[in-house]
Chain A
């Protein structure tokens, strides 16, 4: 039918509203491209078959994308008079349950339901879908963090209406704005309204839409064009696709309004050819609109005529630039041209032309409906309204969101997007695609709008937000984008055609380890000139990724150029295998795994020992950062690297054929080094110094060596015989030890500095931090590390039956599990944040739970309860989770509630500090920020000549492997300081351990990760016997065979 009057529109709306409100049961599938790709279409077919089999009559609907890409495929069920309920990540099994239980049974399947749409998400007042009769036990859409901060103007109908049904669009208020404009408003009024709204072009540059229309309106000429730019080329942005696929009529209505305002009679939608479904839906919508008199001659019964053709892009990025787009529609090569003249005066076929982006146009009907002032009331001072962002990359909940301008980046990433997956650290967010820049951690709090993003060196662009974590190399990101722009450069102007290529060459040079010191400066100079002198926006913005990464991640460039290192393990030429690159000590992981695979366990142990004197110890307690970067984890699951290390160590040292490792060392130099502290850092330094030919002497304040390894780790994790064994190996290299000598008390640092050629300070961080509450030193309170030390020394303290530990780190868990073994009946860990925020190792937390430790989360100690002169309990303040901090952890915020726990012993384990007593006489120079020892990050040299420092004393409490790596690094730089040459390479040539260099061919299939056996929880909870067992030989060799040998493919890539 032809629609001419409001009554006509109402009549169409009636049918649409009936369908939307659902007079019969409906099952609704999200079938935008992303939904189809996730298997939505197959589910729909399944539902059809299943319902036919059951003989149940229900409407099967297909809608567009609601934005929750992370939860695809999505299926909704809607019963008459009831809200729509969304089910996420549906498979056939779940679908069957949903159909049986909800569609046919009438009650939602609560455990599968994601949310219910009881309140309309759209701001439109017409045709809103609100239901008072909500279901119990199913969260509402607006309660989901993903939606609660959203304000949907552009996406008002996406995922709600069926895109192929114009009546549903009209039922939601569609084409009423067009009607209002054509019947009641003069073109100037329309322009005035849009100008007042402050709407800016959403395609990227952010020019005021109203102003653009006005220019075009005022341009002389009778023939004018109104074009919709849907050539969404930015990788990482897909809002235009979602709108065209899910709500094509909103764009068409926006075009009609714009065409009327500027006086255009003909228009085009220019869609990229990569969006076949969008093209199909737009074509369908155009046909419908023409049939109803909404396009063509005499639209809506007026004398205004306008029609829209569709043009497909052909895979060229620069065609998103308006002058290039015009040339493409003209059937030419899509090369941009110099402006001025602007398209508003000389555009398509040299006629005045207005070009707007999809998102801009989809906003227009709502601005007309609710007024320019309403729109201007949203957003920030200079950027009004809402913006659609596609939140993708390393994020838990990727998807499409529409939020008011001015929202904080932090809210988008952590609140809406749910943070970074796999406990990784956030690194940067890339906005604006290849034309934009990377925004780092320190700017996450800015209110996002056009101006702030620009001031940060990035741009809004079309709204792509690609989140990057610590596994992303920023130099590689810049290289990726320059690779993109240099290929997409149309080649017309010199700076863009040649400049992007030259920039890419420099970046390639840097990422392949051939960078020279001048490169950073060269990049900056060249990038700035390319930006300033290019013809169009492609060249003008192409250097942005370089300029922002240079600005915020200079350290990564320097690391690549000077140290030839890529910490993120991305740049293939700069590392052998990610595991080895990630290990602080640089252990040759692929090498020893190969040796295990080949049955050469002693060789494997010795290869380990080239970089780390404690393979047996690390095989038990290492936090194994290597495993988190294992390439195998992208395939099935990471290699059990730590357990393999344990296996080869145990076999080589404890097995039947056990033998002592060789004590090869370089010729004596006669140089002496004093090492303050016999912990992992000090011992590791002693090991390498001795092997380099120097004569180290360790000053240890206790009667035994090992430091935190011995005193801070319970025996059920690390038996003392293992420590003794590997410590003795070090001593046999010729290391002198002064036991029970405390530097600072028994001997002064000055004396050591005078007597020795160099001093290495590795005193660790062993002072327990106090709670900072009144009476926190009363009897009944035992500091965590102190307690562990006593337990490890065999001095069993009287603890009573009930014990609470305050804290969430490894010490807290170690204390809890140890005291349980000592006979405490009930042990609780009280932590002020949520479980996933606990810094303790995951495996330890799980083991503690299995052993029966009780956990209280979100409780902070407020008061110590004292009776007599003894602490008998703690009053905790309950917390709730507040805002996110810079590490993506939510800050605890106190509530009104409290929790009182009574206990015989209270153990605070909330962190450790460095005991600065050693520094007597040098304190002002050696002790720096946060009471840590000052030392240069690379050389570990302190401000005092010939004194070096490392380990926890410098870094603060860290893992064993980091301390070992620091000891190794210190030995190297002390060696250089003493002899003037780096003899480390010589050292590495001493023990030439050979292993196969043939890449494996048969392990690219799913292979189960081998896991070590654990002693049964009940049995182990009352003994200090080791909990984790060594893997057996067969299992270990099977596990070793899973290794991809990334080191070999890296060599190949490096050569290429």
Chain B
């Protein structure tokens, strides 16, 4: 962690100085600012805010939206909702796993993509659904995946 990072963390901490039980809010902000909540961040926050490290650690391990290591450049979220499941979502997962060579929760070696599975993206009307960073793709077909990956992989 360099001075810039520490400055960012200080800012986050000071913005929640007056909030009641701010641990969760702080960590969420760290997550959005850094893309993950690393060991360094947790230790630093704990020291500065007097929130026990065990509590912070308890939170980040309980809620799956926290990441303990830096993600790839693009984050792919595959919806595993019921509608996606009955409309062939599992095949999409398999195809993505095949093309990227990683499973959900993993990051490619070149750190370009992280694959994550989520419970439901709430777009059941246009299932199966895949979300690339903040862009949602509906009615995804296995044939379309390579194309989608290419637009996000930057090649």
A and B: direct contact (Cβ < 8 Å)?
Answer: yes
The answer to whether the Cβ of B141 comes within 8 Å of any Cβ in the partner chain is yes
The answer to whether the Cβ of B68 comes within 8 Å of any Cβ in the partner chain is no
A400→B125 contact, CB < 8 A: yes
Interface 9-residue window, one of B4-12, B21-29, B40-48: B21-29
Bound state CA distance, A332 and B85, in angstroms?
Answer: 32
| B20, B65, B120, B139: residue with the most chain A Cβ atoms closer than 10 Å | B120
The answer to whether the Cβ of B138 comes within 8 Å of any Cβ in the partner chain is yes
Picked from B55, B124, B138, the residue with its CB within 8 Å of the CB of A236 is B124
Q: What is the CB-to-nearest-CB distance from A482 to chain B, in angstroms, rounded to a whole number?
A: 13
Complex interface bits, A13-41 against B, C-beta within 8 A gives 1, otherwise 0: 00000000000000000000110111000
The answer to whether the Cβ of B88 comes within 8 Å of any Cβ in the partner chain is yes
Closest to A316 in B: B63
B124→A392 contact, CB < 8 A: yes
Complex interface bits, A192-232 against B, C-beta within 8 A gives 1, otherwise 0: 00000000000000000000000000000000000000001
Bound state CA distance, A468 and B120, in angstroms?
Answer: 18
Bound state CA distance, A38 and B138, in angstroms?
Answer: 6
The answer to whether the Cβ of A891 comes within 8 Å of any Cβ in the partner chain is no
The answer to whether the Cβ of B127 comes within 8 Å of any Cβ in the partner chain is yes
Picked from B22, B28, B119, B124, the residue with its CB within 8 Å of the CB of A233 is B119
Complex interface bits, B54-96 against A, C-beta within 8 A gives 1, otherwise 0: 0100110011111000000000000011111111100100000
B65→A315 contact, CB < 8 A: yes
Picked from B59, B121, B122, the residue with its CB within 8 Å of the CB of A331 is B59
Contact residues in A for B66 (Cβ distance below 8 Å): 314
Given contacts A37-B138, A392-B125, contact A273 B82 (CB under 8 A): no
Q: What is the CB-to-nearest-CB distance from B148 to chain A, in angstroms, rounded to a whole number?
A: 12
Q: What is the CB-to-nearest-CB distance from A365 to chain B, in angstroms, rounded to a whole number?
A: 23
The answer to whether the Cβ of A636 comes within 8 Å of any Cβ in the partner chain is yes
Picked from B28, B62, B125, the residue with its CB within 8 Å of the CB of A34 is B125
Q: What is the CB-to-nearest-CB distance from B46 to chain A, in angstroms, rounded to a whole number?
A: 14
A233→B120 contact, CB < 8 A: yes
B83→A274 contact, CB < 8 A: no
- B interface residues, how many (CB within 8 angstroms): 45
Bound state CA distance, A275 and B88, in angstroms?
Answer: 23
Picked from B25, B91, B125, the residue with its CB within 8 Å of the CB of A634 is B91
A69→B126 contact, CB < 8 A: yes
Q: What is the CB-to-nearest-CB distance from A310 to chain B, in angstroms, rounded to a whole number?
A: 10
A 471-491 contacts with B by CB, 8 A: 472, 477, 480-481, 484, 488, 490
Given contacts A334-B63, A399-B125, A635-B143, contact A312 B28 (CB under 8 A): yes
Given contacts A236-B81, A398-B125, A466-B83, contact A333 B64 (CB under 8 A): no
Contact residues in B for A1038 (Cβ distance below 8 Å): none
Q: What is the CB-to-nearest-CB distance from A276 to chain B, in angstroms, rounded to a whole number?
A: 6
| A: interface residue count bin | 35 or more
Bound state CA distance, A882 and B122, in angstroms?
Answer: 34
A331→B136 contact, CB < 8 A: no
Closest to B95 in A: A1004
A314→B136 contact, CB < 8 A: no
B122→A275 contact, CB < 8 A: yes
The answer to whether the Cβ of A430 comes within 8 Å of any Cβ in the partner chain is yes
Contact residues in A for B100 (Cβ distance below 8 Å): none
| A241, A311, A317, A331: residue with the most chain B Cβ atoms closer than 10 Å | A331
Q: What is the CB-to-nearest-CB distance from B104 to chain A, in angstroms, rounded to a whole number?
A: 12
B125→A466 contact, CB < 8 A: no
Q: What is the CB-to-nearest-CB distance from A485 to chain B, in angstroms, rounded to a whole number?
A: 11
Given contacts A33-B122, A33-B136, A37-B138, contact A430 B21 (CB under 8 A): no
B23→A331 contact, CB < 8 A: yes
Contact residues in A for B84 (Cβ distance below 8 Å): 235
Bound state CA distance, A430 and B85, in angstroms?
Answer: 13
B120→A69 contact, CB < 8 A: no
Complex interface bits, A325-344 against B, C-beta within 8 A gives 1, otherwise 0: 00011111111000000000
Picked from B20, B58, B119, B139, the residue with its CB within 8 Å of the CB of A317 is B119
Bound state CA distance, A635 and B137, in angstroms?
Answer: 17
Closest to A233 in B: B119
B59→A393 contact, CB < 8 A: no
Picked from A37, A332, A400, A1006, the residue with its CB within 8 Å of the CB of B59 is A332
The answer to whether the Cβ of A349 comes within 8 Å of any Cβ in the partner chain is yes
Bound state CA distance, A38 and B135, in angstroms?
Answer: 10
The answer to whether the Cβ of A394 comes within 8 Å of any Cβ in the partner chain is yes
Bound state CA distance, A276 and B126, in angstroms?
Answer: 18
Contact residues in B for A311 (Cβ distance below 8 Å): 24-25
A-side residues, CB < 8 A to B, are: 33-34, 36-38, 69-70, 72, 232-238, 241, 273-276, 311-312, 314-317, 328-335, 349, 390, 392-394, 398-400, 430, 433-434, 464, 466, 468, 472, 477, 480-481, 484, 488, 490, 634-636, 1004-1006
Which 7 A/B pairs are nearest by Cβ-Cβ distance? A69-B125, A314-B63, A235-B81, A238-B122, A331-B21, A37-B136, A235-B120
Known contacts A235-B124, A330-B21, A398-B125, then 7 further A-B pairs from the complex at CB < 8 Å, ordered by chain A residue: A37-B136, A69-B124, A234-B120, A314-B65, A392-B82, A393-B82, A393-B87
8 A-B pairs in the complex with CB atoms less than 8 angstroms apart: A38-B139, A69-B123, A235-B124, A274-B119, A311-B24, A314-B64, A329-B21, A393-B124
